[in-house]
Structure 1
Amino acid sequence: MLKVLYFASLRERLGVEQESLALPADRTVAGVIDALISAHGDRWQHALKDDPILTAVNLEMCDVAQSVEDNDEVAFFPPVTGG
């Protein structure tokens, strides 16, 4: 199982802070995103694919090609802007 975390406005938009997900056949962050969209539908599609997001695996920033293994922590959060 993977531990999936959602942060900041993404967490508010989806209405969930974290969830567990079985390791998808495509063992990448992109595969995790596809599995989440398949499980949850349009709202996740818009939040995780249509809008820009940042990703991390085990506290390390990465892109969607990053591989994942059982018991990894995958985090999604919106880009941070500042002034």
Structure 2
Amino acid sequence: MAQVLLFGRLADQAGWRDRAFEATSLAALRDLIAHDDPDLGEALSGPGVQVAVDKALVRGEAVLATGTEVAFLPPMSGG
């Protein structure tokens, strides 16, 4: 199982911050989340949302093993 963490507005939208999913890839994880909550699935694919797998930012696909931590980070702003 992959441990999924949501931060900021993504967690607010989902109504949860930490949840486990049975998925072997980042694409499969996104599909599971989108099937469960289409609006959240769309938000996770939105512009500026970054993904960290085991605390390393990734772009594109990633393989997930048991115990992998996946964090979805909303767009940051600041000055």
TM-score range, shorter chain: 0.7 to 0.9
What SS does structure 2 have at the residue aligned with 1:16? Answer: coil
What runs of 5+ residues in structure 2 fail to find an aligned partner? none
Residue in 1 that maps onto 2:57: 61
1:8-50 deviation line (CA, Å, top 9, x unaligned): 1111111111101112xxx321221111112x1322222112x
Q: 2:27 maps to what in 1?
A: 30
The one-letter code sitting in structure 2 at the alignment partner of 1:64 is G
What TM-score do the two structures reach when normalised by structure 2? Answer: 0.85
Instruction: Check whether the contact 2:34–2:40 (CA below 8 A) recurs between aligned residues.
Output: yes
Q: Which runs of 5+ in 1 are unaligned?
A: none
Which among 60, 72, 77 is matched to residue 73 of structure 2? 77
1:79 partner SS: coil
RMSD of aligned residue pairs (Cα, Å): 1.4
Question: Aligned pair count?
Answer: 78
Q: Taking structure 1 as reference, are residues 7 and 65 closer, same or farther at Cα in structure 2, changes over 3 Å only?
A: same
- The ranges of structure 1 where at least 4 consecutive aligned residues each deviate by more than 2 angstroms after the TM superposition are none
CA contact under 8 A between 2:34 and 2:42: conserved in structure 1?
no
